[in-house]
Amino acid sequence: MEKIANKVRETARLALANGEVNKILGWKKGDFWYDSYPAFITEEEGTASLIWDSFCVANLSKYLIEQLKEDIKVGVFLKGCDARAFNQLLKDNRVDRDKVVIYGLPCPGMIDPEKVKKAGLAKGLLDVQKSEDEVVFITKEGEQKFSAREFAYDKCLTCQYPNPVVYDELLAEEVERNNTTEYFYQDVEEIEKMSPDERFAYWVEQFSKCIRCNACRNVCPACSCEKCIFDNSKANVAGKAKVDSEEQFFHIVRAYHVAGRCVDCGECSRVCPVGIPLAKLNRKIIKDITEFYGEHNAGVNPSLDAPLETFKLEDIDPFETRAKGGK
């Protein structure tokens, strides 16, 4: 990855130097091995601090909404899921393609620091490096090697689009789509198999952890409304009480609102500070859409209609209970 990181820095430096863009959105490294965080760079010298490593998980595309309010041209580094997110923002008319230069980064999968901590490997950890399918943990005492899959984010394990679906320049060779080991709808089917009461109990327990921080919503590239209904006191839906029904309301509406627009980036689950598996709601909708209206991968091809934007006369009709007619 270090080779590509050099290319990231060089690309950014050149783009700023020759005036191709006014600002670069990339990642920088902070105090800790897992601390790769969004960087906004306008000066050529600043590009030296850019990085590309296994913790560049933050999706930079949603920042474009805010950044493009200024009349500038922005260069942005996007991974596979980030690129789908970008396309979705494009489709929702939230960004202007002409004002963005996309540097695509084929993504080998990101490492989940929580999994590293859980495995007891975080203590004294100085650096984590990834090569091919291996991940190397470096401490003062030495190095330890593991299979990268063991520490990948859950969302990366079922990733279908590691390669950017939209870019102006691709900074590395495409990686192989490697997604068959974990079955895509496994989690959803496990829940579907339960009885209604079991499902209810499962979700009530999950939702009851919710602290209403809105991280899932704010990180979501499909949640880009100018004003969210949950922020609108006049809409009279923004109950913040810690009661089951408010939590259910929030999470059902959140998931449903992105139906057909969810790019399956899994960021909602990743950022949830209390570990609610939110993507399982979104995946359920994706599964139903695929089953009823055919496969639709939001953000892959923004020229296609989203499933809820359109209809077909011959759509399945699960509702008709009696033949038409009669008085």
Question: Rule CB under 8 A: which of 290-309 touch other proteins?
Answer: 292-293, 307-308
Three-state SS at 294: coil
The answer to the question of residue 183 lying near other proteins (CB under 8 A) is no
Three-state SS at 260: coil
The answer to the question of residue 259 lying near other proteins (CB under 8 A) is yes
The answer to the question of residue 141 lying near other proteins (CB under 8 A) is no
From the CB of 170, what's the least distance to other proteins, in Å?
A: 25
Say if residues 196 and 133 touch (Cβ distance below 8 Å): no
- The residues with which 15 forms a beta bridge, in sequence order, are none
Q: Which of 51, 13, 9 is nearest to 30 (CA)?
A: 51
The answer to the question of residue 98 lying near other proteins (CB under 8 A) is no
The answer to the question of residue 138 lying near other proteins (CB under 8 A) is no
The answer to the question of residue 150 lying near other proteins (CB under 8 A) is no
150 DSSP 8-state letter = G
Q: How far, in Å, are 21, 87, 96 from residue 100 at the CA level?
A: 8, 12, 7
The answer to the question of residue 218 lying near other proteins (CB under 8 A) is yes
Q: Among 3, 140, 193, 324, indicate the residue that binds other proteins (CB under 8 A).
A: 324
From the CB of 200, what's the least distance to other proteins, in Å?
A: 2
Dist CA 26 CA 279 (whole Å): 25
Q: Where are the beta strands (DSSP E) in the chain?
A: 23-29, 36-41, 50-51, 74-78, 100-104, 125-131, 134-139, 142-147, 169-170
Q: Which of 262, 265, 286, 54 is nearest to 155 (CA)?
A: 265
The residue assigned the tokens 């909708």 is: 285
The answer to the question of residue 121 lying near other proteins (CB under 8 A) is no
| Window 2-61: residues binding other proteins (CB under 8 A) | 30-32, 34-40, 58
- How many residues in the shown chain lie near other proteins by CB under 8 A? 90
Q: Retrieve residue 115's tokens.
A: 């999994």
From the CB of 209, what's the least distance to other proteins, in Å?
A: 8
Q: Among 19, 142, 294, 318, indicate the residue that binds other proteins (CB under 8 A).
A: 318
The answer to the question of residue 231 lying near other proteins (CB under 8 A) is yes
From the CB of 119, what's the least distance to other proteins, in Å?
A: 12
The answer to the question of residue 243 lying near other proteins (CB under 8 A) is yes
Q: Which of 107, 83, 105, 108 is nearest to 169 (CA)?
A: 105
From the CB of 135, what's the least distance to other proteins, in Å?
A: 19
From the CB of 31, what's the least distance to other proteins, in Å?
A: 6
The answer to the question of residue 203 lying near other proteins (CB under 8 A) is yes
Q: Which of 162, 134, 130, 116 is nearest to 266 (CA)?
A: 162
The answer to the question of residue 221 lying near other proteins (CB under 8 A) is no
The one segment of 75-83, 92-100, 149-157, 236-244 that binds other proteins by CB under 8 A: 236-244
Side chain identity at residue 189, one-letter code:
E
| Window 268-287: residues binding other proteins (CB under 8 A) | 270-271, 273-275, 281, 284-285
Q: Which is nearer to other proteins, 133 or 291 (CB)?
A: 291
